[in-house]
Amino acid sequence: MTGTMKVSVKNILVALSAAFFVLSGAFQTPAAEQPMPALDTEGTCAIQPLHVSVHDPSVILDQDGTCYLFGSHTAIASSKDLIQWEQISSDYGNGRQVPIYGDLDKLLKIPFRWAGRDDGDAAGGYAVWTPDIFWNEQYRWEDGTKGAYMLYLCTSSTWTRSVISFCVAKKLTGPYTFASLIVYSGFTKNGKPDGNSTRSTKWDQDILNLKELKDKDVIDEISDNWFTKDGGWNFRYAPNAIDPNVFFDKDHRRMYLSYGSWSGGIFLLELDPETGLAIYPGVDSTDRESGNFVDRYFGIHLAGGGHAYGEGPYIKYDPESGFYHLFITYGGLASDGGYNMRLFRSRHVSGPYLDAAGRNAADNAYDPDDYGIKLIGNYKFTGQVGVRSAGHNSQLIDSTGNRYLIYHQRFDVKPQLEAHEVRVHQQFLNEDGWPVTAVYEYRGEKPSLYSKSEIVGHYEMVCSGTETSSDMLPTLLLTLNADGSVEGSKTGTWTMSDSGKGYHNLTMKLGNTVYKGLFFRQHTENKDPNAVMTFSAIGDDNTSLWGSRIAPSNRELTLEAAASFIRNTLPKVTSDDLVLPSEVIGCRIRWSSNLENVLNHEGHVCPVQEKTKVTLTAVLSLGGETRTEMIKIRVRPE
């Protein structure tokens, strides 16, 4: 995927989603981010989630405890409990009467002069993306009063020409008024139009702020780094001005904007808390804390560059861990794009942001998959809908330290659709202080201290790997034994210990990788009323593990999981003997072959002169119940 896809998919494909998955005052100051209600920890959970469609969700908690999500295409949703959501606004709809925004043509008239309205990839419509909703008690109004809801957003016409601006309101629900522009991208010296647009891209037009900043000596001249030799836009160095994220530092004194996508990567720009305006560095330099380069206009470079993928930056300070956490989403946002969230952290707001393997996000321009903890891949647990392209997240940390990762995801369905929904998963700090993401979506559960007998058993497991890929991850089978050993698709050891936070820490060693996380009884996403034991862990190799226990009493699911495992692990083509297991997670397996002289029931392959189709039949049995699985394999000549 290239940066161009960012525009076309967001502006066209995403609008399909609502047809498939959407189900459904006087606030002067927000409350502290209050705790979400705990509903049920052990038994059945009566509340079923109601899902909504909000792409690139940005979360904010209002003073009455209502949680709002603002997303691309002016989609908005709300919830009282993070479980049952209500759709307030779907993608665009009537652009003249958008809930909370009002009339887009009037509200965003100024940024639309540069990008995002009936131009380029937004021809015939709008490209209003990735708003970040933010409460700033330090904002000063003209009448001297303080405190504003600030809505930073971007408008875009091509994969390079964009602008970030912001609007303000005294109530979260509006009305919002346009405040100012922050940063532009896609400007040139030669003025040539980009994409299928006819607009001039010359940098010194009055519709941009560059000439004014130069004339007022706010920035030191126009940088040659921004342009190619022929005067075009140097997208490999400079960012695309999209995906804004606004936050305070740990002392709640200084305010920052992280932003960027593909192109030159992710940047950090300081903002004035009283005005919301940018504090441009003015001159190029090197950041003292991180060693990263500083651009006079765009700010401090944090990650990416060279047009490597990486977008949707989100930075939040975690007071318990003492780290700033930087989330970035890799890959393409479509169902076949391999979208996946990565995690870095730093003691300083400007970096360096490092991953679990100690690699610096600033170095990930050319081999990004080697950098960042991969949180979630494409996966499917037995009996549940497969998940694809989970990404572009925000995070809520409430007043009691509860953490929630909020993102959108697509689904592995046939025919493949671009429909998406919001998901909310809890997070918990592991022994190394990394926020580990729970396996299943939030249903009000809280983890507890469990006996070993509740934990030992057979688990379906997915390992995120580090690759950005459209492939579905293999579903593995592991057995956690009471003696601390791990058997199955991988072997190793596991231990549990009291975290002192109301849950058990998990340490698991598989091969040379050490994983740290927790055990957590949760409800699955297939409407089963009974909770299951899960484990989540982050490895020192930047991979993540998710495990979901198969209840011994659920023979049907056990048989299905065992059948799925052998179906997905046996090769499609072979010239070598196969290992046909006689038992998988307690299920006995009896094999037969329709061509014993080519590939027999013991897995032995006889030489063939040409490719030959063989059907292996596995009869799985468990406690008197059986399941038959037929697997087609091509035997090829040696």
CB 185 within 8 A of CB 238: yes
Alpha carbons 204 and 213: distance in angstroms, whole number? 10
Grouping H, G, I as helix, E, B as strand and the rest as coil, residue 585 is: coil
Give the burial class of 288: count Cβ atoms within 10 A of its Cβ; 0-12 exposed, 13-18 middle, 19 or more buried.
exposed
Catalytic entry in 56, 270, 441, 460:
56
Q: Where are the alpha helices (DSSP H) in 185-278?
A: 210-215
Alpha carbons 114 and 320: distance in angstroms, whole number? 42
C-alpha of 212 from chain center: 37
The number of CA neighbours under 13 Å toward the Cβ of 422 is 39
Backbone angles phi, psi at 562, to 5 degrees: -65, -40
CB 195 within 8 A of CB 219: no
Per-residue DSSP letters for 378-431? SB--TTS-EEEEEEEEEEEE-TT--EEEEEEEEEE-SS-----EEEEEEEEE-T
Give the burial class of 211: count Cβ atoms within 10 A of its Cβ; 0-12 exposed, 13-18 middle, 19 or more buried.
middle
The sheet with strand 323-330 has its strands ordered as 311-318, 323-330, 340-346, 373-374
Query: Residue for token digits 């192109």?
Result: 263
Known active-site residue 311? yes
The DSSP bridge partners found for residue 324 are 317, 346
Catalytic entry in 311, 318, 369, 441:
311
Query: Residue for token digits 């299943």?
Result: 440
Known active-site residue 441? no
Give the burial class of 292: count Cβ atoms within 10 A of its Cβ; 0-12 exposed, 13-18 middle, 19 or more buried.
buried
Alpha carbons 392 and 31: distance in angstroms, whole number? 25
Residues tagged active-site: 56, 311
